[in-house]
Structure 1
Amino acid sequence: MENSVSLDSTTLVLKDSHSNMDSTQVQIIKEEKTLKRFLMEVNKTRKPGIPVPEIDFSKDMLILVCVGEQHGDLEPSLSVLKKSDSEMVIEITKNEGVDSSNMAISTPFFLYRVPVSEKKITLKKRDN
């Protein structure tokens, strides 16, 4: 792996084991409308639904990571691969832990809060 640094200012805001997303998806969410649209999709099969977390989008934005189908719900790792005055490249690594083949299949998602940045942000996925 390239020289990567930890994404220190990342906070896990919300996670759940069922996203209704079969494939890996990563997305930056910069406004409440997009966040609500994602949670409406998740909540189609949930009773009660997951409430929309309160985020001050003038200060923070979200990184949404849906890992697709997997056994268990291991949290992915986020790290900064490259950082310059104009760009930041964030790598999202899908972690594989102990033998989880006997665990239930889930489609987990993770929402991370990061400070708003004017830099171009590129998200890269990497499977372990």
Structure 2
Amino acid sequence: MVDSRMLRCAICLFLVIIQLSSCKSTAQRNSQESNDLGLELLLNENYSGFEEEQYILIKNQKELNAFYGIINRTRKPGLTPPSIDFTTEMILIWCGNSSASSFANLKLIENDEFLKIHKLDSNISKKESKLVVSPFSMYKLPLSAKTLKIEK
């Protein structure tokens, strides 16, 4: 009787460990991936729900909530929007298409007229995969009235 009870406890513990190890983690706030102009990585995720590559500049909470509404359509539980002070900061989001196999590595270059976003090549080799992903990367940067230009 003691052996069967011990076996049940061991099986339950094993199942809990498997369940916890299968949980997906999110890359949040990596301070090593920021640059001098204040471009700071907030989030990398594997599924945005967007089919085409695009860049989204968000300057208020309403737009941020709308974006999270889109990406959380298929997530249970959904991701929580970050706390942003939109009086001094704005959000830049890169959404990859379904053929993208890695997250964006963006570099911000500022001159007198505009902010230029340059997408750097990734060192990650593309793997043959049957998984359908559309990754996205979210960056925080200082609020600016300058025009944003994307250089691919």
Q: Specify every segment of 5 or more residues in structure 2 that has no aligned partner in the other structure, as ranges.
A: 1-33
More contact order relative to length (CA 8 Å, sep ≥ 6)? 1
1:79 to 2:107 alignment: yes
CA distance in 2, matches of 1:91, 1:71: 17
1:34 alignment counterpart: 63
SS of residue paired to 1:122: strand
Q: Contact 2:100/2:135 (CA < 8 Å) preserved in 1?
A: no
For residues 90-119 of structure 1, the C-alpha deviation after alignment (integer angstroms, 9 at most, x for no partner) is 122463622411363311111100011122
| Structure with greater strand percent | 1
1:75 to partner: Cα distance: 2.0
| Structure with greater helix percent | 2
Indicate the percent of aligned positions where both proteins have the same amino acid: 27
Q: Specify every segment of 5 or more residues in structure 1 that has no aligned partner in the other structure, as ranges.
A: 1-5
1:88 to partner: Cα distance: 1.9
1:67 to partner: Cα distance: 0.7
Q: How many residues were matched structurally?
A: 118
CA RMSD of aligned residues (A): 2.1
SS of residue paired to 1:102: coil
CA distance in 2, matches of 1:94, 1:107: 17
